[in-house]
Chain A
Amino acid sequence: MSFATPKLIDIVKKQFLFKWKGYRPFFTNLVILQAIAIIFSLGGIGSSSHGREGVNVSESIYSADFVLAFTMLWAFIVAILLTSKAYREADFVFITNRFTAQLANVAFLFTISVIGAITAILSRNLLWMITYFSSDNITFVKEAALHPSEYVMGGIATILYVFLFSAVGYLLGSIVQMNKMFAFILPVVFIALLILFGMQEQYLLLWLHEFYYQEDSFIWWFVKTGFTATAFFIASFYLLNRQEVSK
């Protein structure tokens, strides 16, 4: 009997496909979450109305921000789940080591980020359609027409944001796997930080907002966000790579 020496990339591919087939229910969850988000968004995120000389004009601003927020949350939770014991054990049923399992996880999270982002973007159109068909006398005022390259950049940005959230979830999940105590400590610390920063005029949150969200250069923003996600994953790799598969 010969001993196969496997190629790393082959095993990662196999693990990725295994997850892709096995974790279909995540996508059902995504559809449900996005549907809920659309329902929330139907009321519009802002409105004003003014009437003059018998004409009553009401303005509503519709946005798919809710859908995007829910999608990010979804990616965050999926990432945490992937680090949990049950999911890691399922990796080790078939051929893998810790590194290939993790690479397959990142590939899987990136794929779901792409799917999540694209469906979130498309849901904006759905939202318009629903509001269009459900009300009379309506005029759409779209945002100023975008250049196709701006659409692409918007798409990439959305994907990367969702991916970044999954990276945060993955890192938090990995920390909890190191010691279950963190499952209690982390939320407490998080809430404490919120309160603390709430008192101190939210310097950190403001800084985060400025650093990521308000970056004008797309390239710079891309580098910053991509780098952060990568750093989170590397940290997670380091934590999970030493873990025993406890059965």
Chain B
Amino acid sequence: MNIVQCNAVSKSYGNVAALDEVTFSIKQDTITGIIGRNGAGKTTLLKLIAGYWKHSKGDIHVFSENPFNSLTVSANMIYIDDQMTFPDAMPLHSILTEAARFYPNWDAKLAKRLFDYFSFHPNQFHDHLSKGKKSTFNTIIGLASRCALTIFDEPTTGMDEAVRNDFYRALLRDYIVAPRTILISSHHLNEIEHLLEDVLLIDRGRVKLHLSIDALQQYAIGVTGNQAVLSQWANDQEILFSKDDGENSLFLVVRNNVSKEKMDQLLGLGIKPTSISPAELCLYMTQLKKGGIDDVFRDA
């Protein structure tokens, strides 16, 4: 069953399209990483799914309902980011009590244990917490609420590395105990790839890839070699990224569907393909210019 279904969904502000005809679906009880660069449209997409924002065109269904203004979607969904605001006068312990009142699947034991583990004080105020501590507290709510659809939008903002790893581990362990659909956005794919089943790569408002993490791992290969020779070899290949590596040397990322013949040809040239990690691939596939930042410094 699909928990989220988007068909040609667009969201625009005036003439600027934040999302441009996005189509994909999210299977139930999977952890999907929403990956993309700053401003790619990750947050916009997640807010549409959460029902906070209204899409401009297309069809969006969450639990088979249009999420905007839907009470059913809200009741089965929680959205965690670093912008969460609570009433000023509410100390942390009452925020947890309130959350428990709202969410039927709330796991009070888990909340309490995480709360103590991360050494929060019950009478602290959310507003007085540091950035990283705020994020940590918000993720406790995200985990303990055990919502059928749990959305984490850049949940680790400000957290130090140890806390980030603790959070990822807690997320995984709780997911094993209580499987649910989790969307987690990040620009640090390498930090979260082990958690993920699927990756949705967004670039400039469009879906660039939607694959399982394993497929992504084998999606592309990197080859480095003499510019003339390599471009000749690659002219019938699907090139995902190319970069001049200085003196006559060329680095190419190509789809990992090279025929045996072509591969033998390559190996015959003394070029050994390297593997491209999912994080690298996502980076290469979302370069603004084919040559990267070096293009800016290149003389016309």
**CB within 8 Å of B: which residues of A?**
1-6, 8, 11, 14, 17-19, 21-25, 86, 89-90, 92-100, 241, 244-247
Interface residue tally for chain B (C-beta within 8 Å): 35
- B85–A95 CB distance below 8 A: no
Question: How far is it, in angstroms, between the C-alpha of A14 and the C-alpha of B84 when the chains are bound?
Answer: 19
- Does B285 touch A at the CB level, under 8 Å? no
- Does B267 touch A at the CB level, under 8 Å? no
**CB within 8 Å of A: which residues of B?**
29, 47, 51-54, 63, 69-72, 74-76, 81, 83-90, 94, 98-99, 101-105, 148, 178-180
Q: Which residue of B lies closest to A19 (CB)?
A: B87
Question: How far is it, in angstroms, between the C-alpha of A92 and the C-alpha of B101 when the chains are bound?
Answer: 15
Residues of chain B with a CB closer than 8 A to A89's CB? 83-85
Q: Which residue of A lies closest to B138 (CB)?
A: A93
- A95–B47 CB distance below 8 A: no
Question: How far is it, in angstroms, between the C-alpha of A9 and the C-alpha of B218 when the chains are bound?
Answer: 51
- B98–A94 CB distance below 8 A: yes
- B98–A18 CB distance below 8 A: yes
Q: Which residue of B lies closest to A28 (CB)?
A: B89
- A90–B75 CB distance below 8 A: no
Q: Of B69, B84, B94, B180, which is within 8 A of A241 by CB?
A: B69
Residues of chain A with a CB closer than 8 A to B69's CB? 97-99, 241
Residues of chain B with a CB closer than 8 A to A90's CB? 85-87
Shortest Cβ distance from residue B116 to the other chain A in the assembled complex, whole angstroms: 22
- A14–B70 CB distance below 8 A: no
Question: How far is it, in angstroms, between the C-alpha of A86 and the C-alpha of B101 when the chains are bound?
Answer: 22
Shortest Cβ distance from residue B266 to the other chain A in the assembled complex, whole angstroms: 48
Q: Which residue of B lies closest to A2 (CB)?
A: B148
Question: How far is it, in angstroms, between the C-alpha of A25 and the C-alpha of B29 when the chains are bound?
Answer: 42
Shortest Cβ distance from residue B203 to the other chain A in the assembled complex, whole angstroms: 23
- A96–B53 CB distance below 8 A: no
Q: 26 A-B residue contacts at CB 8 Å?
A: A1-B105, A1-B180, A2-B148, A3-B63, A3-B76, A4-B75, A4-B76, A17-B101, A18-B98, A21-B90, A22-B88, A22-B90, A25-B88, A89-B85, A90-B87, A92-B74, A93-B84, A94-B99, A96-B74, A97-B69, A97-B74, A98-B69, A99-B71, A244-B52, A247-B52, A247-B81
Q: Of A5, A8, A22, which is within 8 A of B89 by CB?
A: A22
Q: Of A5, A93, A98, A246, which is within 8 A of B86 by CB?
A: A93
- B89–A95 CB distance below 8 A: no
- A22–B52 CB distance below 8 A: no
Shortest Cβ distance from residue A56 to the other chain B in the assembled complex, whole angstroms: 52
Residues of chain A with a CB closer than 8 A to B81's CB? 247
Residues of chain B with a CB closer than 8 A to A23's CB? 87, 89
Q: Which residue of B lies closest to A245 (CB)?
A: B52
Question: How far is it, in angstroms, between the C-alpha of A98 and the C-alpha of B68 when the chains are bound?
Answer: 9
Shortest Cβ distance from residue A167 to the other chain B in the assembled complex, whole angstroms: 22
Closest 3 CB pairs of A and B: A22-B87, A245-B52, A6-B75
Q: Of A4, A25, A86, A98, which is within 8 A of B85 by CB?
A: A86
- A21–B94 CB distance below 8 A: yes
Q: Which residue of A lies closest to B94 (CB)?
A: A21
Shortest Cβ distance from residue B58 to the other chain A in the assembled complex, whole angstroms: 17
Shortest Cβ distance from residue B188 to the other chain A in the assembled complex, whole angstroms: 21
